[in-house]
Amino acid sequence: MTNQWQLTDDQLKLQSKARALAEEVVAPRAAEVDRSEQYPWDNVEALQQNGFTGMTVPKDLGGPGHSLLEAVLVVEQMAKVCGVTGRIAVEANMGAISAVLSYGSDEQRKMAAEFVLGGDKPAICITEPDAGSAASLMTTRADRRGDSYIINGMKHWITGGSVSKLHLIFARVFDEQGEELGIGGFLAIRDVTPGLSYGLREPTLGLRGIPEMEVLFDDMEVGPEMVVLPPSGLRRGFADLMNAYNSQRVGAGTVALGIASGAYERAVAFAKEREQFGRPIAEFQGLQWMLADMSVQLEAARSLTYRAACSRGAGPDGPGTSPFPDANLAAQAKIFTAEASIKVVSDALQVFGAAGYSRRNELERMYRDVRMFTIGGGTAQILRTVVASRILEQKLPQSRDGYLR
Ligand SMILES: Cc1cc2nc3c(=O)[nH]c(=O)nc-3n(C[C@H](O)[C@H](O)[C@H](O)COP(=O)(O)OP(=O)(O)OC[C@H]3O[C@@H](n4cnc5c(N)ncnc54)[C@H](O)[C@@H]3O)c2cc1C
């Protein structure tokens, strides 16, 4: 890839350091991670030791203070060789950690920073069986008792539940008189917070090295020091908390982009090498145009993703007032990148012919892995509602997000 993005020398160095780790350490393990369906703790250790977790933690909290774009450059390289490791790199750098770093108390920020700098990938717990796209219909509740909250309910499809230490849990908040105050965020720690446990693991199509879990709260008591309350308070706080998802959306799009870029590069190499009718199949115009279309899709996806990573969002008080990427740009980037990446990986598999359809080939794994990104973290349909909200300058009732204009 040429430096069309005018990355700085430091960013190019970071990118090549990530590429080297991905190719030398992560790539050789990718097939086994998929086959065994085991969380790749050795890759997590490698990410942590190379400074690729907690990248966005500011310097005053002991982190390197990298930008979101710099984290994206690392995620892209990991995902080119292993979608699972790419996803771990996303969640160890953005998503729940972004919410806590932005809205948490000093103690919470310090604690969350220590977790991710130590290699933890925090879990974000929003989705419930009857509250998927309609996240605000969640029924998990937090009842105030004295200074503490008692949380009851369950979440499902929680990425990394059972391997993550830190959890950010969204719940409806009730005061001691039983009056509902809004939706708030609560921190809990695996093996430390009593009442936090895990149910069934979802058997998934792809990305099998990360557990997708039911997370259960049974009279889980959390003290005031574990309540993450955005400055806007409980009534509008849900919108703020959901906006933290915009960084995760940019990250999710980046994993799709990385997987598709990896598939494309493999297809180009194969097309040059595989011969039929007495010449390399790359000499056939039918395939040349397919490869050209793939490269166009990837460049467009990369441009949207990097642009979203560089943006600052509109918060309740106007443009630039959210600490996260702009909701509209993040949604546009994830819609396009997720859909284009599915097509690119499918076409790359086509270039391989029967070899691409074999489980001996990485393309088969990439094809399954890339399918996720139009669903998790806000579906392509719901994200179109986010974009439509901005176009029509009104908050549409089906939007899963916060302050949409
Ligand atoms: C691999 C994976 C990882 C995930 N990780 C997490 C996680 O870590 N934490 C977490 O909280 N959640 C997680 N999720 C859940 C994810 O956020 C939800 O799956 C997603 O929000 C959609 O909810 P749903 O699956 O219940 O689908 P539904 O909301 O039931 O939607 C079903 C279909 O209807 C469409 N639809 C729904 N409403 C509308 C509408 N108004 N207009 C048009 N179409 C609509 C949807 O786009 C979809 O195609 C994960 C999901 C997956 C697959």
pLDDT of residue 2: 58
| Residue 313 pLDDT class (50, 70, 90 cuts) | confident
Q: Which atom of ligand 1 is nearest to the CA of 133?
A: 29
**Is ligand 1 within 6 A of the CB of residue 372?**
yes
Residue ranges of E strands in 202-281 = 212-222, 227-228, 275-276, 279-280
Q: Which atom of ligand 1 is nearest to the CA of 379?
A: 47
If one looks up domain 9-94 in CATH, what number appears?
A: 1.10.540.10
**Which of ligand 1's atoms lies nearest the C-alpha of 160?**
8
Q: Per-domain residue ranges for the chain?
A: 9-94, 123-234, 244-392
Q: For position 335, what pLDDT does the model report?
A: 98
Question: Ligand 1 centroid to 261 CA: how many Å?
Answer: 25
Atom number in ligand 1 closest to CA 129: 26
- Ligand 1 center to 248 CA (angstroms): 15
CB atoms within 10 A of CB 343: 14
Q: Which CATH class is domain 244-392?
A: mainly alpha
What is the CA 383 to chain-centroid distance, rounded?
A: 15
Secondary structure (DSSP) of 267-315: HHHHHHH-EETTEEGGGSHHHHHHHHHHHHHHHHHHHHHHHHHH--EEE
Question: Which of 253-257, 328-332, 378-382, 395-399 bottoms out in mean pLDDT, i.e. has the lowest?
Answer: 395-399
* Per-residue confidence (pLDDT) for residue 402, from 0 to 100: 47
Quote the ligand 1 centre to 78 CA distance (angstroms): 25
Q: How many CA atoms lie within 13 A of 77 on its CB side?
A: 24
pLDDT of residue 405: 34
Q: What number is the average pLDDT over the span 140-163?
A: 97
Instruction: Read off the pLDDT of residues 2-19 as tens digits, 9 standing for 90 and up.
Output: 577 789 999 999 999 999
Sign of CA dihedral 103, 105, 108, 114: positive
Q: Is the per-residue pLDDT at 363 higher than 70?
A: yes
pLDDT in tens, 45-75: 999 999 999 999 999 999 999 999 999 999 9
Q: 205-236 burial string, b = 16+ CB within 10 Å, else e?
A: ebbbbbbbbbbbbeebebeeebbbbbebebeb
Architecture of the domain whose range is 123-234: Beta Barrel (2.40)
Ligand 1 centroid – CA 381 distance (Å): 10
Q: Is the CB of 105 under 6 A from ligand 1?
A: no
pTM: 0.96
Calculate how far, in angstroms, residue 132's C-alpha sits from the geometric centre of ligand 1. 5
Q: Would you state the pLDDT for residue 312? A: 82
CA of 42 to the centre of ligand 1 (A): 30
Looking at ligand 1, which atom is closest to the CA of residue 380? 47
Shortest-distance Cα residue to atom 19 of ligand 1: 376
Quote the CA–CA distance of 271 and 285 in Å, as a whole number. Answer: 12
Q: Rounded to the nearest 10 degrees, how much is the dihedral formed by the CA atoms of 332, 335, 336, 338?
A: 140
